[in-house]
């Protein structure tokens, strides 16, 4: 059980020794009693998923710093970060960001997950992980398969037959938004199946322990962990670099009602 920031760091160090030393771990924090590692779009139909994305692109296009219309990947990344249900799951290259998201609502069953994205993608493609050239990027230069492209295309093309992978895949985004930069964002994108990530992987008889670990936070430890994270510079203001969250951070620090 995790009761302090130091507990999480110790567990991560212990588990990273079980992976290839070239692995770059990703982290995700969750809390509550809902299905673990399941995208918000799982309960929507294909038409609803598509309509949400099309509406977001149409209405947000007049705002500053939005992608060009053809950049369907960047539109989905942006939609996810601002609350539109998508087939993406948010991950971060920083463990402390994930810990913040696990405890900031002070809900029960807070957890932090650690993922090896290279091995996840290797499982999806049925090959060995290549830590130097493997297609974590949106459009790998090798001309090989583009798992992120294929799974994202399912959302924009109404889950057209022949598109997408059976398994979720990991994807490094283009940083075009301040939130993504601040949070060191990464994503997994579900494909043909939209259930909980672990359930999907186990249904394909995969050994999840080779690339995914989870750490449970004690239910009464949230306040102490949030205090420690604040000492380390992790707060609403640093994770969401805008005036709204700066004010929330100031109010929290001064215990305003």
Residue-wise pLDDT for 110-156, tens only, equals 999 999 998 898 887 777 777 766 555 544 555 666 777 788 888 88
DSSP 3-state of 90? strand
Whether 158 shows a pLDDT value over 80: the answer reads no
3-state secondary structure at position 195: coil
Structural domain spans, the chain:
5-253
Residue 102: pLDDT over 80:
yes
* pLDDT tens digits, 39-54: 999 988 889 999 999 9
Q: How far apart are CA 133 and CA 75, in angstroms?
A: 26
Residue that has been written with the tokens 């949070």 in this structure: 183
**Token pair recorded at residue 136:** 């974590």
Identify the DSSP state of 174. Answer: P
Instruction: Indicate the DSSP class of residue 235.
Output: S
| Helical spans, DSSP H, in the chain | 5-16, 46-60, 72-81, 95-103, 117-125, 147-156, 178-183, 197-203, 222-231, 236-239, 243-253
């Amino acid at each position: 059980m995790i009761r302090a920031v130091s507990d999480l760091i110790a567990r991560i160090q212990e588990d990273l020794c079980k992976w290839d030393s070239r692995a770059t771990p990703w982290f995700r924090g969750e809390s509550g009693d809902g299905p673990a590692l399941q995208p918000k779009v799982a309960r929507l139909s294909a038409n609803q998923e598509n309509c949400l994305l099309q509406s977001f692109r149409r209405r947000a296009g007049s705002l500053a710093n939005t992608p060009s219309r053809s950049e369907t990947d960047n539109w989905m990344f942006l939609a996810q970060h601002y609350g539109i249900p998508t087939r993406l799951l948010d991950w971060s290259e920083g463990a402390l960001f994930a810990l913040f998201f696990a405890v900031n609502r002070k809900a029960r069953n807070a957890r932090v997950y650690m993922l090896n994205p290279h091995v996840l993608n290797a499982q999806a493609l049925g090959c060995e992980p290549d830590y130097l050239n493997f297609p974590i990027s949106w459009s790998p230069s090798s001309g090989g398969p583009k798992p992120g492209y294929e799974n994202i295309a399912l959302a924009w093309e109404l889950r057209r037959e022949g598109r997408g992978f059976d398994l979720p895949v990991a994807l490094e985004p283009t940083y075009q938004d301040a939130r993504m930069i601040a949070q060191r964002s990464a994503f997994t994108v579900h494909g043909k199946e939209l259930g909980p990530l672990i359930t999907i992987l186990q249904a394909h008889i995969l050994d999840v322990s080779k690339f995914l670990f989870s750490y449970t936070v004690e239910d009464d430890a949230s306040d102490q962990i949030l205090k420690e994270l604040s000492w380390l510079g992790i707060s609403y203001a640093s994770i969401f670099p805008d005036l709204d969250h700066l004010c929330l951070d100031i109010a929290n620090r001064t215990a305003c009602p």
